[in-house]
């Protein structure tokens, strides 16, 4: 039947809940059941959504309000006044509801595990039963073990002397024996704690050969000229050659350590071998020169240089003897470990004096590359 009418008013208010057209998922509500339905609109705090709940006393249906911004068209209800022939269009919403199924209560994992083991013991195969028995034997009562540990710990006696931290300064460990109570500067360090007597004699017996060697280091040449005119010149030249041999070893690439061992000290193979073993560490990949060993070698060189220079040393000149980057700051640090302090007028010049200063504090070491 065709009905004519005039649309008088259109009501669209998306901000408010409009009349709801309910669609039931997987079904259709019968007229007899519709009379029994009760409904209500609620707010789901967990999902922050408006929810419609309906129930007929046996089944609960639930559905969430659709997002109006995602609807491409409006669903409109047409209300027709037969007397006047006028029509009002009112926005409606289509909500879909579905039955809420009963949820199984959450199970405790431990209870489920016990049930599973009981089923395995009752209905499992021999292999499953054996595995279940082994698993049960391996289970640990945490509370019992914790109590046992607490009882054991409470009976342990601690010697407080063992708790005293024992920190050894590696830089100080690199020093030869040092007599800080010495009254003469000559007695602070012993020469033979660095150079064994037999090796020193070997070098002294080769003074003429040493003097024929070509040396380009300014420190070496200046020191050699100075000690030739001083007492015990032969002994001092032998010490200078030992210093030069140590520096030669520090400058030698590790890959050439085996091939060029004799080049460390051309005067004496014994001295070369001694320097190789004293100022390096052996490893599966060959000889290594870690930072601590390199510092030890430089400390010994500084002490020996002080001995042959009247216990006064120009660190800048000494640094020119060493190949590679070695700044004045590092040399001053090593000299401080030795006990030699810079003079007031020239920080490059250090002197060893008595009484000796207090032992140096722990020196922080950064990461360095192995040379």
pLDDT: which is higher, 11 or 162? 11
| C-alpha–C-alpha distance, residues 366 and 336, integer Å | 18
Q: For 102-130, what is each residue's pLDDT tens digit? A: 654 555 566 667 777 777 777 778 888 88
| C-alpha–C-alpha distance, residues 311 and 88, integer Å | 113
Q: For 21-62, what is each residue's pLDDT tens digit? A: 888 887 777 777 777 888 888 888 888 888 888 888 778 888
The predicted pLDDT at position 304 comes to: 95
**Strand segments (E) across the chain:** 6-11, 20-24, 38-44, 49-55, 60-64, 75-80, 86-99, 281-283, 286-288, 312-314, 341-342, 349-351
Count of beta carbons in the 10 Å neighbourhood of residue 97: 21
Angular region, 158: left φ>0, alpha ψ -120 to 50, beta rest: beta
**pLDDT band, very low/low/confident/very high, at 205 (cuts 50, 70, 90):** very high
b/e sequence 343-362, b meaning 16+ C-beta within 10 Å: eeeeebbbbbebebeeeeee
pLDDT: which is higher, 168 or 297? 297
Contacts 24+ apart (CB under 8 A), 11-15: 11/88, 11/89, 11/90, 11/91, 12/74, 12/91, 13/91, 14/68, 14/91
Instruction: Tell me the residue length of the chain.
Output: 371
Q: Give me the mean pLDDT over the 84-107 stretch.
A: 78
**pLDDT band, very low/low/confident/very high, at 259 (cuts 50, 70, 90):** confident
Q: Give me the mean pLDDT over the 230-258 stretch.
A: 89
Does pLDDT of 8 surpass 70? yes
User: Taking the model in full, what pTM does it have?
Assistant: 0.53
- Percent with pLDDT over 70 in the chain: 86
pLDDT: which is higher, 260 or 278? 278
The predicted pLDDT at position 107 comes to: 54
């Amino acid at each position: 039947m065709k009905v004519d009418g005039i649309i008088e008013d259109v009501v669209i208010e998306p901000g408010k809940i409009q009349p709801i057209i309910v669609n039931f998922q997987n079904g259709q509500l019968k007229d007899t059941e519709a009379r029994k339905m009760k409904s209500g609109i609620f707010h789901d705090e967990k999902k922050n959504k408006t929810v419609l709940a309906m129930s007929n006393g046996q089944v609960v249906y639930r559905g969430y309000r659709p997002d109006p911004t995602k609807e491409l068209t409006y669903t409109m209800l047409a209300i027709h006044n037969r007397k006047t022939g006028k029509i009002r269009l009112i926005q409606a919403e289509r909500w879909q509801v579905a039955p809420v199924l009963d949820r199984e209560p959450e199970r405790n994992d431990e209870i489920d595990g016990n049930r599973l083991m009981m089923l395995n013991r009752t209905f499992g195969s021999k292999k499953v039963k054996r595995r279940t028995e082994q698993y049960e034997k391996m289970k640990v009562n945490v509370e019992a073990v914790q109590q046992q540990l607490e009882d054991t710990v409470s009976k342990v006696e601690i010697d407080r002397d063992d708790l005293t931290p024992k920190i050894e300064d590696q830089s100080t460990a690199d020093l030869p024996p040092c007599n800080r109570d010495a009254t003469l500067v000559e007695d602070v360090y012993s020469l033979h704690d660095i150079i064994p007597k037999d090796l020193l004699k070997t070098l002294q017996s080769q003074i003429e050969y040493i003097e024929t060697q070509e040396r380009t280091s300014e420190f070496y040449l200046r020191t050699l000229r100075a000690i030739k005119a001083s007492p015990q010149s032969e002994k001092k030249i032998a010490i200078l050659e030992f210093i030069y041999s140590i520096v030669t070893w520090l400058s030698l690439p590790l890959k050439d350590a085996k091939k060029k061992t004799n080049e460390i000290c051309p005067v004496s193979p014994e001295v070369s071998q001694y320097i190789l073993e004293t100022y390096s560490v052996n490893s599966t990949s060959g000889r290594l020169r870690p930072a601590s060993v390199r510092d030890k070698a430089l400390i010994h060189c500084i002490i020996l240089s002080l001995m042959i220079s009247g216990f006064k040393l120009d660190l800048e000149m000494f640094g020119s003897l060493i190949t590679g980057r070695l700044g004045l700051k590092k040399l001053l640090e090593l000299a401080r470990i030795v006990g030699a302090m810079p003079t007031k007028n020239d920080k490059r010049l250090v002197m060893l004096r008595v009484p000796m200063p207090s032992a140096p504090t722990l020196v922080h070491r950064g990461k360095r590359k192995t040379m």
